[in-house]
Structure 1
Amino acid sequence: MSTAVSGRAVRWYGPKDLRLETVHLPAPGAGEVLVRVAYCGVCGSDLHEIADGPHAIPVDRPHPLSGAVAPLTLGHEFSGVVAATGPGVEGLPEGAPVALEPNYRCGRCTACREGRTEVCAAFGFAGLMGDGGMAEYALVPAYMVHRLPDGFDLAVAAVLEPAAVALHAVRRSTFSAGQTAVVVGLGPVGLIVCALLREAGAARIIGLDPVPARRELARRFGVDAVLGPDADAVEELTGGNGAHVAFEVVGSQAAVDVALSSLRSGGELLLLGLVDTLVLPAFDMVNAELRITTSVGYRDCHPELVRLVTAGRLDLAALVSDVVALADAPAVLLDMAAGAPAGIKTLVRCGEDR
């Protein structure tokens, strides 16, 4: 019979105020799963909240689906094993390895009824709008939980969430095999976009990023040419034609400008980066019949990603640059949020990975 548990968690109280605390979780209720967390990735969204939030974290009113309000447990990129399940949950036996698709969904709004759960009217992420997985235990709705094949590397499984962001963006785009693509921003999501474009048959992939370490890693992810943020060089590499699709994975005016200028007539800009407002060259865009497509979150991506990883066709392990202990996470995250140098993807080891 399921019982309540206690475990340590990294809790957000306010900007620059993180605390490692012991939290008490009830036994899972109907449709809920208790996960013993193995690893949790650190996302830029986490660092923004730590640096100068709240941005997404509810502090005045509880989130309509999670019911949570700060302080709350950070972390939405996590994996682990099933510790217990509540009534009505099937196919998730105790000890099964799992990855989390941490977006809340109401199931009732127009978007949910149309199957577009990533834009649910009450959209939110566990770890930002509700308690997440930077903890020894996490209690989540069963619909967030993806069972993994036995023996699946749980450190890699913690990277499936940003990989899902990348796959959803590629699916949202008009990209097709034989085309040329530009990816502006070679962080974890941008690098995975590159790998997925290569898997989908890109004729040429050109990656742009100002950070040398990211440019060095890019070739491992299928990038043919790696540049600093110089769109003029893109034109030279494409014989003056430009790219069919440009993925902007930074979230800045400068990156959007570079992405747009890299496109050929009739090309598409896929916006993944988050930015409040943009200035667009509408006249030039209309005359070139350029398209803009946006992408947020994901849906139904994890099964395909698991197949690609299992088949050895997607190397997510190459993204993991640092692993820190849960006890050290508050200090490490505060340093990262303050701008300390960091690798490609930092994972927090929250518990046993088996």
Structure 2
Amino acid sequence: MSVTGHALRWHGAGDLRIDRVELPLPAAGQVLLRCAYCGACGSDLHEIHDGPHAIPTVAPHTLSGATAPIVLGHEFSGTVVAVGADVDGIDVGDAVAIEPNYRCGECAACREGRYHTCRHFGFAGLMGNGGMAEYATVPAYMVHVLPAGFDLAQAAVLEPAAVALHAVRRSEIRAGATAAVIGLGPVGLLVCALLQQRGVDRIVGVDPVPERRALASRLGVPTVIDPQAVRDVAAAVRGATGDGVELAFEVVGTQSTFDAALGSVRSGGTVVLLGLTDELRFDAFDFVNNELTVVASVGYNDCHRELIDLVHRGVLDLTPFTADVVELAEAPAVLTAMAAGGTRGVKTLVQCGGESR
């Protein structure tokens, strides 16, 4: 037996297709779901624009066994339609969010609980088939059952929220601290929301995009700076806080934003580096004399249950990230335009067919 549905598949750079895909019923340890929503991530757009970067095209990924064409999308939610053998705690009909990282469970990182840095790490939706589809099959360890009535559109935002939560945890920030967030894309905005949830009310956000700055203000960020309107971003942050911030989150991945983050923190401060780039340089003399710290943050582990609880209790509202929704059939054209530099809302969700709003 099997199910058949439509899926958005990456066949090559600039080559997205809605294909009809047949999925067998789940094997042992697997779960089949009808997808509801799937967020479009910058990593998806990089693959569409000039990939492959992470998508396996020659040798199958070690854990997924997949090669291109790949179903894109790693920020997804849905409803369980079938459960394989040896799966406990997940039932047909359950609403679920997917934590899409593959892990082997055997390498040193996995044994230490740091499965997000697994030696064979990969994402469903990049290194294996993901959630921009009517149906998806995933390992049961990726599945988080949601409370009754949980909004599946918000559930699709839990994945970038987990990136933000992991960074906030890595920062060890305390209530009453001061923080700057350099880059107010979805993850940066979610960092702001989670900092506020932890009692940090002195936050400075920095971004050149007016819509992002406006949303940051609506989310309660008290000071928002347009880097194109000031001569020196670090000086502007210091001017807004008196003596610089205790923590700066760099969420872009460029030399200029890294410089701004380092220049924004006070003596003894910490920069949390989320942005990805090939190389960064810094003034070691200044770095040492001010006893600065740089903490790297990648991905997440064990974040989804906390986030689900925060959203369910109404402490964290992800609805501002669910306004821009496109149908699955529209997604190839929309995502191709976005990959070429077109702009839309802060977060674009693909409605896959498993739920209508």
TM range (shorter): over 0.9
2:19 alignment partner, SS class: strand
Q: Does 1:283 align with 2:273?
A: no
1-structure distance, mates of 2:351, 2:4: 17
2-structure distance, mates of 1:156, 1:46: 19
| Offset at residue 220 of structure 1 (A) | 2.8
Match of 1:349 among 344, 348, 351: 351
Paired AA for residue 115 in structure 1: G
| Offset at residue 352 of structure 1 (A) | 2.7
Identity %: 64
- Structure-1 residue corresponding to 2:309: 307
**Per-residue deviation, residues 280-305 of structure 1 (Å, max 9, x unmatched):** 22221111110010111111111111
| Offset at residue 27 of structure 1 (A) | 1.1
1:133 alignment partner, SS class: coil
Q: Does 1:234 align with 2:237?
A: yes
Note the residue ranges of structure 1 that are not aligned, 5 or more in a row: none
Paired AA for residue 333 in structure 1: L
- Structure-1 residue corresponding to 2:230: none
For 1:1-354, what aligned pairs fall within 5 Å after superposition?
3-229=1-227, 230-239=233-242, 241-353=243-355
| Offset at residue 320 of structure 1 (A) | 2.1
Q: 1:178–1:201: 8 Å Cα contact kept in structure 2? A: yes
1:106 alignment partner, SS class: coil
**Per-residue deviation, residues 319-347 of structure 1 (Å, max 9, x unmatched):** 22310000110011100001112110000
Report runs of 4+ in structure 1 exceeding 6 Å deviation. none
2-structure distance, mates of 1:283, 1:222: 37
2-structure distance, mates of 1:339, 1:65: 33
Q: 2:34–2:80: 8 Å Cα contact kept in structure 1? A: yes
1:20 alignment partner, SS class: strand
Q: 1:234–1:262: 8 Å Cα contact kept in structure 2? A: yes
2:309 alignment partner, SS class: helix
Aligned length: 351
| Offset at residue 312 of structure 1 (A) | 1.4
Task: Normalising by structure 2, report the TM-score.
Answer: 0.97
2-structure distance, mates of 1:282, 1:49: 35
2-structure distance, mates of 1:179, 1:5: 52
Q: 1:174–1:245: 8 Å Cα contact kept in structure 2? A: no
Task: Normalising by structure 1, report the TM-score.
Answer: 0.97
**Per-residue deviation, residues 204-228 of structure 1 (Å, max 9, x unmatched):** 0100000111111102323110001
| Offset at residue 202 of structure 1 (A) | 1.0
Q: 2:163–2:298: 8 Å Cα contact kept in structure 1? A: yes
